[in-house]
Chain A
Amino acid sequence: MIALFRRDLQLAMRAGGGFGLALAFFLIVVTLVPFALGPDRETLAAVAAGVLWLGALLACLLSLDRIFALDFEDGALELLATAPIPLEGVAAVKALAHWLTTGLPLTLAAPVLGVLLSLPAGAYGWLTLSLAIGTPALSVIGTFGAGLTVGIKRGGLLMSLIVLPLYVPTLIFGADIVRRATDGLDPTAPLILLAVITLASAALLPFASAAAIRINLR
């Protein structure tokens, strides 16, 4: 499992792995927002929390298809399925590798982009914290979506259609933390609920992902 983890990280980091692409996408989305809404600082500050969360979510979504697609095409996924480690473990490790190469960089970049959108000073810590807690859930749920659609040619759009509704609760709680912090309210309640979603999906969804991959490999 550690070997698989290292391999996934290396594949993502090296050329063609698309490691920086999600970050670049996040930057572009945030840059486009003032063009759409106008450069007024107060308007931007009011929507900054939601825009940052939405941008991170979309950047995460766009990088999902690399989790299984390449391994499925060259047959590595079938080798993994017959390997002594359970497929549930493979799904969990792949989600973890996806988070380390996508969710974590997004979390670290978000405060910098928050400056561009003039996010209020009190919200930066909460923004980083909420993304750090919430993005693992996005990776785990996304791994399920990727496993479900791995056998379908040009399944990217279909995967978005399936995965985005599943992202709704995570987005609601995650963005609510930052919004409450922006308004000077206490954000602990949504923080706890977000942590519940992350922990529960990390515990349960690898089983569903593995089931979906088994069906697709049949």
Chain B
Amino acid sequence: MSLWEYANPVKFMALSGQVLPWVGGLAALCLGVGLVWGFFFTPDDFRQGSTVKIIYLHVPSALMAINTWFMMLVCALIWLIRRHHVSALAARAAAPVGIVMTLIALFTGAVWGQPMWGTWWAWDPRLTSFLILFLFYLGYIALWSAIEDPDTAADLTSVLCIVGSVFAILSRYAVNFWNQGLHQGASLSLDKEENVADVFYIPLLVCIAGFVCLFLALVLLRTRTEIRVRRIRALEARSRMA
């Protein structure tokens, strides 16, 4: 019994079908509890007022936006090295989720920035690199949809994903060099004693867990759809041959 057995589409479908309702339910539960707790049962910040509460959407979505690309990179490597189709399809399924997460982060950031910084948008390193990440997602998705042969598409997008990762990191540092920013430091990191005051911290963690579960549920669902689409295509091709 090893993890690679689930690269078999049949086994993957069986397992993901069982797991999906649980992950989806957990996502709904965490997001429900976390968002309601965060929005209605935490005090307003003494300087930022109620705008501080946008953190419950902004931080988890920004976190997932980057990690989705990372997951796509891992999937691309697995596809290129071990040729498991499920892996390529999972990368394809994750990309639209990632781009939406990036959009949510950019949008909530703008909504927060308007009252706090007095501007919807500033060419700050963090904001700019998220915009660039958004462009990378766009190119990746466009390349997927432009190529008809599924294996060629999977190969080429995997190559693009690997090269793109290097350039995305490079852009991050280039942008840092280019302009000093307004954005505060990382809200969360593991090596700090206290990240955010505890009243905000615990609902934030619940929200992050909710976003992770939501991401998992969406990617599983979309991967299952992709596998089914692939099966239908194979069946159609076979019936045409007969």
**Which residue numbers of A lie inside 8 Å of B, CB to CB?**
144, 148-149, 151-152, 155, 158, 161-162, 164-166, 168-169, 172-173, 176, 190, 193, 197, 205, 208, 211-212, 215-216, 218
Contacts and interface: CB of A to CB of B under 8 A. Distances in A.
6 contacts: A148-B159, A165-B135, A168-B132, A211-B159, A215-B155, A215-B159
A158 B142 contact: yes
A152 B147 contact: yes
Nearest to A189: B177
Contacts of A211: 159
Contacts of A173: 174, 177
Contacts of A190: 177
Interface in B138-190: 138-139, 142-143, 146-147, 152, 155-156, 159-160, 162-164, 167, 170-171, 173-175, 177-178
A169 B170 contact: yes
Contact of A169 (B136, B147, B159, B171): B171
Contacts, number: 72
B139 A212 contact: no
Question: For the side of the interface on B, what is the size category?
Answer: 20 to 34
B167 A165 contact: yes
A91 to B, nearest CB: 13
Given A173-B174, A208-B163, 7 more contacts: A169-B171, A193-B174, A205-B163, A212-B159, A215-B156, A215-B159, A216-B152
Contacts of B164: 165-166
A158 B155 CA distance: 17
User: Is chain B's interface secondary structure helix, strand, loop, or mixed overall?
Assistant: helix
Given A161-B138, A168-B167, A169-B170, A151 B159 contact: no
10 cross-chain pairs, A with B, having the tightest CB-CB distances, nearest first = A169-B174, A162-B139, A165-B135, A215-B155, A172-B174, A169-B170, A168-B171, A161-B139, A166-B167, A172-B178
Contacts of A158: 139, 142-143, 146
Contacts of B162: 208
B106 to A, nearest CB: 15
Contacts of A218: 152
A148 B160 contact: yes
A23 to B, nearest CB: 27
A152 to B, nearest CB: 5
Nearest to B163: A208
Nearest to A152: B146
A164 B156 contact: no
A149 B147 CA distance: 9
Contact of A197 (B135, B152, B163, B170): B170
